[in-house]
Amino acid sequence: MGQIRILVNIVAGKKQYLFDEEGRRYLDAFAGIATVSCGHCHPDVVSTIVEQASRLQHSTVLYLNHAIADLAQALAKKMPGDLKVAFFTNSGTEANELAMMIARLYTGCHDIISLRGAYHGNAAGTMGATAQCNWKFNIVQSGVHHALNPDPYRGVFGSDGEKYASDVKDLIDFGTSGHVAGFISEAIQGVGGIIELAPGYLPAVYSTIKKAGGLCIADEVQAGFARTGSHFWGFEAHGVVPDIVTMAKGIGNGIPLGAVVTTPEIAQVLTRRSYSNTFGGNPICTAAGLAVLKVIEKEKLQENAHAVGSYLKKRLLSLQDKYEFVGDVRGRGLMIGLELVTDRTMKTPAKAETMHVMEQMKDMGVLVGKGGFYGNVLRITPPLCFAEEDADFFADVMDYSLSKM
């Protein structure tokens, strides 16, 4: 367990594979932190980027450009209800910062409720909404209250979503003026350890937030763009319609791009002052974003994420039956978490063992991520072109690595 970690120098990628400087191939089961949706260097996306770069690299959103308009229109078609206005940013952090500001401007309130274990970014505002000390610097982070995490595995109420939702009502009653700006959450916590929110939680919380005059913000930075397989957006699995949706990562397949989508009424608040983002919505990134949407649809990557993800999850559940170290297997589509523990009853985090498994798998040609507050959750978020044979290879390598524990 005390071996020296050797970093991999990645120099090339193709589909679900990465290659180091010595030409060795790795199966990528992390996708640059759930970012590479279509696959590394997808020819359709690459050709779109090259073509756009050769024609116009940058102007500014002060001028009209069809690339930004086309992507905004395409995103609107993917959204429920009246979510029709898009603002483009360069990252998920920027998108969440903007969404929180919009909620505060629209409601006239400052208080925002987030979840313990959440990760929403590392800028001043989003760091307040992030709720893990590992990711928070000691700076002023005002106006955010963190509710109990509706974690079916480690949470105090198990899978009872409505009991967790009552904590949000208590936070509003006892920690605010009774009115809030909004509530922000991921449908599946990524950095938090691939935690699916307990059933019934989001509908109950959304209702409570509405009664307190707040807006509901869905952070789809990791779960969005077909990654969950069953739905295009993570929040759809909960039967709710947010007031604001934020996104990044999979939207650009590696190109720096994020977005905030909301209703025309809510978007109106940004006309009160001059709002602009120099590089947000630049032609190259938005052209790439539209190409990504087209590839997801053309290659049926959502259906693939559902089929292959379900198959892989079954393979991993069989490992849970085989090894006491595997405490929990969770997630949906190609967003899966496998939590390692040294004691199943006490759920004692197996942090060192998790690193050992990651290193062993890397040595065998498989790259996987980790997360969770204790760093003991293997995060499996490969490109959406992952095939069934890749799932088998991944599960076999993990099986061998666990057998060496």
What's the pLDDT tens digit per position in 285-307? 999 999 999 999 999 999 999 99
Provide the strand spans (E) within 124-257. Answer: 144-147, 182-186, 188-189, 195-196, 215-219, 244-247
Beta pairing class for 366-367 and 25-28: parallel
Count Cα neighbours of 126 within 13 Å in the Cβ-side half-sphere: 19
Instruction: List, edge to edge, every strand of the sheet that includes 10-14.
Output: 10-14, 17-20, 25-28, 366-367
Beta pairing class for 258-262 and 244-247: antiparallel
pLDDT tens digits for range 34-45: 999 999 999 999
Has domain 44-298 been given CATH number 1.10.760.10? Answer: no
What's the rounded Cα separation, in Å, for the pair 270 and 287? 24
Can you identify the CATH homologous superfamily of domain 10-34+300-403? Aspartate Aminotransferase, domain 1 (3.90.1150.10)
Q: Specify the higher pLDDT residue, 178 or 141.
A: 178
pTM of the model: 0.96
**What's the average model confidence in pLDDT over 391-399?**
98
Q: What is the pLDDT of residue 61?
A: 78
Other Cβ atoms less than 10 A from the Cβ of 360: the count is 19
Q: What is the pLDDT of residue 2?
A: 46
Which tokens go with 33? 């932190």
Confidence of residue 352 (pLDDT cuts 50, 70, 90): very high
**What are the C-alpha distances in Å from 26 to residues 12, 21, 337, 371?**
10, 12, 20, 20
- Residue 99 CA, chain-centre distance (Å), reads 16
What's the rounded Cα separation, in Å, for the pair 172 and 168? 6
pLDDT above 70: residue 3: no
Q: What is the pLDDT of residue 6?
A: 63
Parse the chain into domains and list their residue ranges: 10-34+300-403, 44-298
Q: What is the pLDDT of residue 322?
A: 97
Which tokens go with 168? 């949000």
pLDDT above 50: residue 216: yes
**What's the average model confidence in pLDDT over 141-150?**
95
Q: Are 10-34+300-403 and 44-298 in the same CATH fold? A: no
Q: What is the pLDDT of residue 64?
A: 82
Mean per-residue pLDDT over the chain, rounded: 96
